[in-house]
Chains A and B, each alone.
Chain A
Amino acid sequence: MIEWTTPVRRPLLRQPAALSALGWLALIGLGAGLAPLLAPAGPLAADTTRGLLPPGPGGPLGTDLLGRDILTRLLWGSRWTLGIGLMALVVTVGLGLPVGIVAGTFGGRIEAVLMRLVDALLAFPSLLLAMAVVALLGPGVSSVAVAVGLAAAPAYARMARSAALEVRTQPYVEAARALGSSEWHVLMRHVLPNAAPPLVAFAATQLGWVLLDGAALNFLGLGVPPGTPEWGAMLAEGRGYLRDAPWASTFPGLVLTLTVLAANLAGDGLQEALRPR
């Protein structure tokens, strides 16, 4: 019974759920990259004579009010949604990682100051914080990415700090210190590489979060301009004729949910795969 609870390290190849999650993410990435080839007509090609066609010969996933093909828009939209998500993730990791690692490695007053700041930011509900940042920067795509990334950064800093703390007390780090290594040397050579695995896993989980929050802001109309094929914005647009053409909002929601789910499953899987022996 005891060995059951001992967390087991499992390579990714033996985790079907995580593998299919990574497969889905790769597929979406591919769709984003190849959108001009796969759907040459483009996401804005409208034909009002073909409005609100159900999924079928008129379009595999149907058309919206203006007769634009939903599948085409989803393919092109992955550029917006994934792009915003990845940009936000860069902001999250770019801010959270240095703050957390420095706090965890150096300790003392630096840690106290940094972590109190993180605590204060964590007190703001993250979506509300993101909305406030959008208000300050003015609505727009890059505002949404920065806002969502910023709102997720404190949680990442927390995680990075605890990962660094765990490494800091390891014998080899103490040995390096005893041998006279500078704090920076310890940080770059020992703490960062050894704290990396859980932080990679957590970054995947955070991708799920920023995708959700980014699309939420677009759903609320605070991001991309109207008509943009971003998934959250498509959902909001299709809501207007939910009764007549449920596919126009259902499919963007489904694709978004699957992508967030994939990020979460990939995060869980990486956590198991990268667990220290």
Chain B
Amino acid sequence: MVARYVGRRLTQATFVLWLAATLAFVALQLTPGDPAQALLAASGATPEEVAERRAQLGLDDSLPVQYTRYLLDLIRGDLGQSWLHGRPVGQMILEQLHPTLELALASMVVGVVAGLGLGVLAAVRRGTWLDTFATTLAVLGLSTPTYWSGLLAILLFSLQLGWLPATGEGDLRHLVLPALVLGFALSGSIARLVRARVVEVMEEQFVLAARARGLPSWRVLFVHVLRSALAPALTVTALQFGFLLGGAVVTESVFARRGLGKLAVEAITWRDLPVVRGVVVFGALAYVLVNLAADIAQAWLDPRLREELT
């Protein structure tokens, strides 16, 4: 049953998240440095104040106690306190989430549309110049750093043509260039997978049968072939969600946008480790949830998988 499959995937996802959170905890524990000292470093606190803060933060407790508290806090959405600002990390992430999410979603739309289009085009016209063109674009997408394509886009569309703003955020016009740049990078892996899948599907019995029945080729393409290409496109997009988040960080820097990227880079520069850990754990959470959703959606979409499960 689908319900049982969902249950199993849910258990798996929880386990992976727990392990990821534990790794993040261990990594921070292994790092030398006293968090209380770090928190109070700027204000020039006395040793007594630091000791008091240590007790306040629970840093004098045994490791198992600290670990349990960390996990319980995490479940409640509490990601700890920034050493630099003394503010809750979860709140800092939420404040920066909107622009990053906006960029990630817009790039995803660009990447999926371009990737599906290129992949199907290459598969249907396999062996022709169109195939070569589409597969070349795909591998270029995989290879081009967004921090270069972004600069080229700014050069051409902002500085030369003056069509779009180069940096900053606000209205939709600010989103166009970053989304195109990151979407292009994403489209490469989607296109390659979709092409392979469509090539496979076109050889399958039901497509051959539909052709033999004399259905017009566009109908075969749209009804049968495209539908079976959607499921793998969904999976690969979900798998690339981590790439998308990382890419958003760099793209934000290129276009001087606010967002998680700026937060993370600043935190690393100042060694504000709780913030770094918060962003990374948050990224893992988002990644696992997106993939869980994609797997469940695919279980509904793909008739063969549905049969396997029932």
State the A residues within 8 Å of B (CB): 1-2, 4-5, 116-117, 119-129, 131-132, 134-136, 138-139, 208, 212-213, 215-216, 219-222, 232, 235-236, 239, 242-243, 246, 249-250, 253-254, 256-257, 260-261, 263-265, 268
B12 to chain A, nearest CB (A): 8
- Give 1 or 0 for each of B23-52: 1 = CB within 8 Å of chain A CB: 110011011000000000000000000000
Q: Do A120 and B147 contact each other (CB < 8 Å), given the known contacts A131-B268, A243-B159, A264-B139?
A: no
Residues of A within 8 A of B186 (CB): none
Assembled-state Cα–Cα distance A233/B15 (Å): 39
| Residue B103 lies at the interface, judged by CB distance under 8 Å to chain A | no
| Residues of chain A with a CB closer than 8 A to B276's CB | 131-132, 135
- In the assembled complex, the CB of B305 is this many whole angstroms from the nearest CB of chain A, namely 20
Taking a contact as CB atoms under 8 Å apart, the answer to whether B139 and A222 are in contact is no
- Given contacts A128-B279, A135-B271, A135-B273, whether A242 and B154 have CB atoms under 8 Å apart is yes
CA distance A208 to B139 in the complex (A): 11
Inter-chain contact B283/A128, CB cutoff 8 Å: yes
Give chain B interface residues in 257-283, CB to chain A under 8 Å.
Answer: 264-265, 267-269, 271, 273, 276-277, 279-280, 283
Complex Cα distance A131/B23, Å? Answer: 15
Instruction: Name the CB-closest residue of A to B139.
Output: A264
Within 8 A of A (CB), among B49-87: none
CB distance from A141 to the nearest CB of B (A): 15
* B164 contacts chain A at the CB level, 8 A cutoff: no
Interface size class of B (residues with CB under 8 A): 35 or more
CA distance A245 to B20 in the complex (A): 44
Q: Does B128 contact A (CB under 8 A)?
A: no
Q: Which one of B145, B273, B287 has the highest number of Cβ atoms from chain A below 10 Å of its Cβ?
A: B145
In the assembled complex, 6 residue pairs joining A and B whose CB atoms fall closer than 8 Å, in A order, are: A119-B16, A121-B20, A208-B142, A212-B143, A249-B151, A253-B151
**Quick one: which of A5, A122, A128, A135 contacts B249, CB cutoff 8 A?**
A128
A136 to chain B, nearest CB (A): 5
- Contact of A220 with B250 in the complex, beta carbons under 8 Å: yes
Contact indicator A123/B268 (Cβ below 8 Å): no
Complex Cα–Cα for A249 and B148 (A): 8
